[in-house]
Chains A and B, each alone.
Chain A
Amino acid sequence: MRSNIFFIILGMGIVTYIPRMLPLTVFHRIDLPPFWRGVLRNVPYATLGALIIPGMFLIQDDLWFGMLGFFSAVVVSWLGANVMIVVFVCVLVLTVYTML
């Protein structure tokens, strides 16, 4: 293996690990004010929003591809299906759509 590539990979690994590790190890048992505790509890929902929008609609140049995927996922999960079923139906619907 080329040492140059090896050092790039190692460096990438270190700078990726540090932000993942610091809060879980250093912040343990720090008493945050209730407001900021609430903000941290909000983070997962806000993150999901930013991960889905706009990315899901831009998978392809064809806007309908993402729209169709989004709405089938929303409908199936609204009906109470678990995540695996949602993924399966969504992939299936889009496979059919791309074959049309």
Chain B
Amino acid sequence: MFRHGVKAGIAIAIGYAPVALTFGLLAKSTGLSIIETTLMSIIVFAGAAQYISLNLISLGTGAFEIIFTTFILNIRHFLMSASLNEKVEHDALWKKALYAFGITDETFSVAAMKEGTVSASYMFGLIFISYSSWVVNSAIGHVVGAYLPENVQLSLSVALYAMFVGLLVPAIKTEQKALWLAISSGLINCILLLWLHVPKGWAIVISTILSAIFVQWAMERRKETTYAQ
């Protein structure tokens, strides 16, 4: 099962590579040492938060504000962890506490779209390869810089999005509900981000909750009216 997790995580590992290489390069130009850069990837393991922290560090922002911003941005993982909890097998608590560390947008999406239940060893495999790619490539980025040709770098930036689409489409083919959930959540997210200028972490949380509740409510209502007839 560990092996299955590793295999499922290869797409994440590839998608993380350019993001982590760029993080390493930016961290260097922000003035972080290679130890600080690598340590941040080892301890935090959250792409968007790490990028923003570099920006804030370079602006001379205080520690509390940086940590608070990180918290706001990553609170969405609470929702993902709660959802994943409905799908995971009953493993020892320490194992669940351990793999909980590796829940990111990407590892969550892959685990949640897997057929059947999810075991701790699957999660360890999935996270092992994703986390390794993240940490190692952050360090490499600091040493050699992201000197990939610019057009390759640019097209690689689509990799994680392509993975999300690749996870979603098979679900839509088998269950129409998935389509309504994705579209409604995406539209709410557009309104929140582009119009109301809600911070990204919160926008994902709010659009996910609203769309998940609304679609559930609409479905149960439809079921009731069908039964009533």
Contact = CB atoms under 8 A, between A and B. Distances in A.
A, B co-complexed: yes
Interface of A: 1-2, 4-13, 15-17, 19-25, 27-28, 35, 37-56, 59-60, 65-66, 69-70, 73-74, 76-78, 80-84, 86-87, 90-92, 94-95, 97-99
Contacts of A45: 168, 171, 177-178, 181-182, 185
Given A12-B49, A52-B161, A86-B162, A21 B97 contact: yes
Contact of A86 (B80, B90, B166, B204): B166
30 contacts: A5-B32, A12-B70, A13-B44, A16-B49, A16-B77, A19-B75, A20-B101, A24-B84, A25-B93, A25-B97, A42-B181, A45-B177, A45-B178, A46-B207, A47-B112, A52-B182, A53-B190, A54-B186, A59-B157, A73-B169, A77-B166, A83-B110, A83-B163, A87-B15, A87-B166, A90-B159, A91-B155, A91-B159, A91-B162, A95-B155
B182 A49 contact: yes
B187 interface: yes
Contacts of B209: 39, 46
A63 B123 CA distance: 36
Residue among A20, A39, A40, A41 having the largest count of chain B Cβ atoms under 10 Å: A20
A88 B157 CA distance: 12
Contacts of B159: 87, 90-91
Contacts of A84: 10-11, 14
Contact of B164 (A40, A51, A78): A51
Interface residues of B, number: 98
Which 6 pairs from chain A and chain B are nearest by CB? A53-B186, A49-B182, A86-B166, A44-B112, A90-B162, A49-B185
Task: Label chain A's interface by main secondary structure.
Answer: helix
B59 interface: no
B81 interface: yes
A47 B80 contact: yes
Interface in B83-104: 83-86, 88, 90, 93, 96-97, 99-101, 103
B83 A16 contact: no
Given A12-B66, A42-B212, A21 B93 contact: no
Contacts of A59: 157-158, 161
Interface in B153-194: 154-159, 161-171, 173, 177-178, 181-190, 193-194
